Amino acid sequence: MKRIAVLVSGGGTNLQALIDAQKRGEIHNGEIALVLSSSSKAYALTRAEENGISSLVMRKRDFPDRDAYSAALAETLTERNIDLVVLAGFMLILTENFAKAFPNRIINVHPALIPSFCGEGFYGLHVHEAALKAGVKLTGATVHFVNEVCDGGPIILQGAVAVKEGDTPEILQKRVMEEAEWKLLPKAVSYFCEDRLSVDENGIVHIAEEKE
């Protein structure tokens, strides 16, 4: 059984999608062992508690800088024998060293079709604001491995979502979550736990057939 840590900062609807998938038996060979929040006020912590999942708060402001914060985070996850780190609405950019400590073992969900609307500054509602401003007719979500480039790691799964007349960033965010994020993230996590994901020398992810 692979031990999964879910890192959150806010509402935690993606965490909820993972918890629900786990309850339905859809996370094969994995269990959510820890929820780690960058904020003590995150509603995601209530979701963890309601579901009997251990949680921890680690705030960046309690550390001298991003390096120290990322190093402490990596240490905590290593101490707890975490196999897979899932960034589910985790709003802090971690250091290169953090990514290197868990090579192809960190998964992020991003609310756009990477390489569009991604990188530093593109998070949460800002992503949907940018998509609406650009007038794209299709957006979506991407689940990818995290490497040292912000939102630049190998892509695991993507799902397209239509932009509709009259969309606000909030309406679009909700549609992208419902139609893409909440489905793709649990699926990618299960693939990882089943050892079905591999990354080739060009940084392309391959998904192996389900084992009998």
Residues marked as catalytic = 110
- Residue 16 beta carbon to ligand GAR: minimum distance, rounded to whole angstroms: 8
Please tell me the distance from the alpha carbon of residue 8 to that of residue 14, in angstroms, as a whole number. Answer: 9
User: What tokens were used for 208?
Assistant: 């192996």
Type of residue numbered 125 = L
Q: Could you tell me which residues come within 8 angstroms of residue 27 by beta carbon, excluding any fewer than 6 positions away?
A: 4, 18, 21, 186, 189, 190, 193
Q: Minimum distance between the CB of residue 176 and ligand GAR, rounded to whole angstroms?
A: 7
Least distance (Å) from ligand GAR to the CB of residue 54? Answer: 19
Q: In this chain, which stretch among 52-60, 62-70, 122-130, 163-171 interacts with ligand GAR, using CB under 6 A?
A: 122-130
For every residue of 74-88, DSSP letters joined together read HHHHHHTT-SEEEES
Neighbours of 137 (CB within 10 A): 9
Binder among 7, 14, 95, 197 for ligand GAR (CB under 6 A): 14
Nearer to ligand GAR, 5 or 177 (CB): 177
Half-sphere exposure of 72 (CA within 13 A, CB side): 16
DSSP string spanning 101-153? Answer: HSTT-EEEEESS-TTSS-STT--THHHHHHHHHHT-SEEEEEEEE--SSTT-S
Contacts of 202 (CB under 8 A, 6+ apart): none
Question: Residue from 5, 34, 127, 146 that binds ligand GAR (CB under 6 A)?
Answer: 127
Q: Can residue 104 be called a binding residue for ligand GAR (CB under 6 A)?
A: no
Site for ligand GAR in 168-197 (CB under 6 A): 177, 181
Give the nearest residue (CB) to ligand GAR: 89
Q: How many residues bind ligand GAR (CB under 6 A)?
A: 16
Q: How many residues does the chain have?
A: 212
Least distance (Å) between residue 34 CB and ligand GAR? 16
**Which window, 21-29, 31-39, 104-112, 163-171, contacts ligand GAR (CB under 6 A)?**
104-112
Shortest Å distance, C-beta 195 to ligand GAR: 25
Considering only 88, 101, 180, 197, the residue that binds ligand GAR (CB under 6 A) is: 88
Q: Does residue 110 bind ligand GAR (CB under 6 A)?
A: yes
Question: 3-state class of 89 per DSSP?
Answer: coil
Q: Which residues would be at the binding site for ligand GAR (CB under 6 A)?
A: 8, 10-14, 88-89, 109-111, 123-124, 127, 177, 181
